[in-house]
Each structure stands twice: as structure tokens, then as C-alpha cells.
Amino acid sequence: MAHPVQTHGEPGLRLAGLRGVAADFSSDQRAFKTASWGKAMMWIFLLSDTFVFGCFLIAYMTARMSTPVPWPNPSEVFALHIGGQDVPLILIAIMTFVLISSSGTMAMAVNFGYRRERRMTAVLMLLTALLGATFVGMQAFEWTKLITEGVRPWENPWGAAQFGSTFFMITGFHGTHVTIGVIFLLIIARKVWRGDFDVERRGFFTSRKGRYEAVEIMGLYWHFVDLVWVFIFAFFYLW
Amino acid sequence: MSETTAHAQGPTVQAQEHGQQHPIRLYLLVWGLLFVLSAFSYMVDYLGIQGYLRWTLILLFMMLKAGLIVAVFMHMAWERLALVYAILLPPLLVLVFVALMVSEADYTIFTRLAFFGAAP
């Protein structure tokens, strides 16, 4: 039954399972057969980014576990005073829903991109960018509120000083990723709107033919930003 | 799934162009599930659940959300196994780093308490 992996031209019947993994990695061409180089490179970049965020979260864990000073209660720190009472974590909850919605619109943009519905794709990407910008705006509001209350990278009014440094470091780095993502979204959305991927217009930097796969690669980055927030939400705001 | 046969039909470029076409319904379903799971993890805090139950629930909802995003939104469920392993296995090794730092943090707080007392 098992056919050998073909080395050129048409992809023949490829092995599945672990044998397929071994065959893909030991082949004389690229290892990630069904993923183009662009997609594979974005994945490898995201893997490296995973390690960076992983290191930040581990540093935060180490700081929090090793301090004898009480850690501020995030549930109270991030509460908002609405209608005469404090609602715990409400701002973070809204930010989470905004970011998840942006992931939803992005996934649909990728889908419409492969259907070659250019305007719908561009509109969904612009909506994603708008939700991303909303998220950054809310984060700016959150930072402003905490800075007004006296939180600094070296101190805060509620306890362990490390709270300030880890908070600004982790949410700041994530916010930077969202901001870069919004810019990236606007660039690709413009290309989609102009029809660059329909006429295979060559890229400014790369001189390579533009394809609708760029939307999916953009989507990988955007979903990753949402993915990181899932971990920050659990470890920073709920712990 | 039967990706092997699906990709065997056309040239590689075509397989890439049409390889990640899935019904909109699936994306909407995952979107809804992510909303529900986020609401659940928010409720854990709102209801003030503490202790091991809090940890279990938080990590469970976190992993389910992360899994849905990676598998469906990032199309990992439909990629070749070589890519899946190359991307998903290395982050697992970070858990070793976590274990090292837990041990290190325990030692740091032990020395802090032993030499400086509870007050900083």
C-alpha cells in the first residue's frame, strides 16, 4: 500500500501519520509539503514569539512566587466603578470579547479571500483592524487609570512592587503586537481592495506575485495575538 | 481526514489556494464557543471560586480556547503532521523551564523568609 514519497513535480500519494512525518522531514525538498514557504515562515516566527511570551510569563510567575509581600488582587485592581458598585474585571472581560470578535472576523476574511470575494474580504479585514484598534484604545484607558492610581514599574499602592513591572511589560508587549497587527491588517486590506491578488501584482519589497494566501498568513499572526491574550487573561488577570 | 487523496488530485499551488476552505458555519460555531468559554472563565472570578477548583477551571477553559483558536482559526487541524509536530512540540518543552523556575522561586522565597523575615 505504502507509496514512496515523490521528489519532484506533482505531489504523489503521501504517507500519513508518523511515517509521513519522517518522510516529510527526510525528503530532499521542503519539509512542510502542503504549507507554502510564506506560511511556514510565519509559523516559525510565531513559534519564536511563543518563546518570548513564554519567558515573560515565566518571569512573572517567578517574581510572584518568590515575593513575601502580598500580591495585589487583580479582580479588585481591574474593577470599574459602574452604577454605584465595583464590577470586578469588567474592562478586561470587554477587551477579551473585543479581541475574540476580531479573531472571528479575521477567520471569515480568510474564508472570503479564498472565495475571491475581494470587497467582502477587505471589509472584514478593516472590521478586524477596527476591533484591534478598539482593544488598544481600551488598553490605553486601562494604563492611564492605573498610572493615575500610582502604579509604576517599581511600585504600586496595593503591595508587591513586581506587580507594576510585570504588568507593564507583559500587557505592553502584547499591546505592541496588536498595534503592529492593525498596521499589517491595513496594508493587506489595501492590497485586497485594489485587487492586487487577483492580478498577481508583484510585491514592493519582495517582487513576488501576490496571492490570496497573504490574507491567511496575516490571519495566522492575528489569531496568535488573540491566543497570547488567552494565556495573559488566565495567568495575569485570573490568577 | 482524507487530505492525502485531496491533495493528490491537483498541483501543489492549487492545493494551497483551495486547501483551507471551510464552511463559514464552522468559524461562527468556534467564535460562539470562544465567547461562551470566555464568559465561563469570567464567571469563575465573578463567583469568587477559590483554591484548586479555580485553578482547574481556569486552566481548562484556557486550554480549550487555545485549542480552538489553533486548530480551527489557524487551520492547524488540516495541516501536514510534520508542521503540526514542528510547531506544537517545542512549546511543550517550555514546561521544563516552568518547573525549573518554580523550584528556583521556592528557594528564593525560602531564603528571603529565613534571612529577612516576613516583612520586606
Q: Within an 8 Å CB–CB cutoff, is residue A52 touching chain B?
A: no
B7: which residues sit within 8 A by CB, 6+ positions away? A11, A14, A34, B15, B19
Alpha-carbon distance B63 to A84, whole Å? 35
Q: Quote the pTM value.
A: 0.88
Give the A:B interface size as CB pairs under 8 Å.
188
- For residue range A153-201, list pLDDT tens digits in order: 999 999 899 999 999 999 999 999 999 999 999 999 999 999 999 999 9
- For residue range B9-45, list pLDDT tens digits in order: 334 444 444 567 888 999 999 999 999 999 999 999 8
Alpha-carbon distance B30 to B69, whole Å? 8
Reported as type and span, the H/E element at residue A85 is: strand A85-87
Confidence of residue B114 (pLDDT cuts 50, 70, 90): very high
Cell reading at A45: 516566527
B81: which residues sit within 8 A by CB, 6+ positions away? A16, A17, A18, A20, A21, A24
Which residues on B lie below 8 Å from A107 (Cβ)? 27, 30-31, 72-73
Looking at per-residue pLDDT, the higher value among A213 and B19 belongs to: A213
- For residue range B42-85, list pLDDT tens digits in order: 999 889 889 999 999 999 999 999 999 999 999 999 998 999 99
What is chain B's length? Answer: 120
- For residue range A89-105, list pLDDT tens digits in order: 889 999 999 999 999 99
| pLDDT score, position A28 | 79
Evaluate if residue A227 carries a pLDDT over 90.
yes
| pLDDT score, position A6 | 46
Calculate the alpha carbon distances from A141 to A80, A138, B45, B52 in Å: 12, 5, 22, 33
Alpha-carbon distance B44 to B67, whole Å? 20
How high is the ipTM of this complex?
Answer: 0.89
What is the average per-residue pLDDT within A45-55? 97
Alpha-carbon distance A96 to A117, whole Å? 29
B52: which residues sit within 8 A by CB, 6+ positions away? none
What is the average per-residue pLDDT within A115-130? 96
Answer for the pair A98, A203: CB distance below 8 angstroms, yes or no. Answer: no
Looking at per-residue pLDDT, the higher value among A78 and A102 belongs to: A102
| pLDDT score, position A194 | 94
| CB pair distance less than 8 Å for A234 and B35 | no
